[in-house]
Structure 1
Amino acid sequence: MVWFVFLVLYLLFYIPTLPWKVHGYVTKKEVTTLGVKIEEFLSVIFHLFGCIALYELASGNQFISPMLWALWFSIGILWTISPLIISSPKLEYLKQQIPNPNKQKLVYLIGSLFMAPLYVGVFIRSSFVI
């Protein structure tokens, strides 16, 4: 049941953002660089794919190989840790919007905590946990 709740939460977070973001880009209301736009869309697609793991946990079925989930999990961890080491277009945009480094870290921490259940679900589906 808990996995279904997280699945619905993530779907309610991600699916409405896609048309809203596209509308902002098309109408030029969203003034981010192309790099930020690409990074945002890749992130949304990547995490929506990860939601399949939550569905697998909620339904008790397995559709995708544990090896693929292990690969997804590894990429996800690298993607999550990389802003601490290297800069990205989205991180540079965040620095422009929130100049205070402590507030930047708080936003990063909140985002990481929000995504933690998805990563735990994928970790479980990867068969690292039996």
Structure 2
Amino acid sequence: MNIGATILVADSNFGCGSSREQAPIALKNSGIECVIAPSFARIFFRNAINIGLLIIEFDQINEIHTGDEIDIDFKECLIKNLSTNKAYKIKKLPEFLLEIISAKGLVNFARKMLLN
């Protein structure tokens, strides 16, 4: 996660009603680098990963407030709220999904795999 990245904290079933890739693309193009929510519509989740938008399922969204400084530690599977000095466990994303996100999307990931 980049320092100073914009994180969107949303409610359950985020992305429901949108089966098009344009929804996560619009978020990413507006500067959002990560979406945190208790759950995501499955097709939105997959589309977000495919374009390299980080998605984190986190039930305790009420512990994050506007303006809070957040650190996401994938190694320890933690969201740290630096504003309140509290840390929360998150479930680990599969390594291959993190690789797709790191490559900034599925197309770039596939291109990288083909070149290697």
Establish whether TM, by shorter chain, passes 0.5: no
TM-score, normalised on structure 2? Answer: 0.29
Larger strand share, 1 or 2: 2
Greater CA radius of gyration, 1 or 2?
1
Larger helix share, 1 or 2: 1
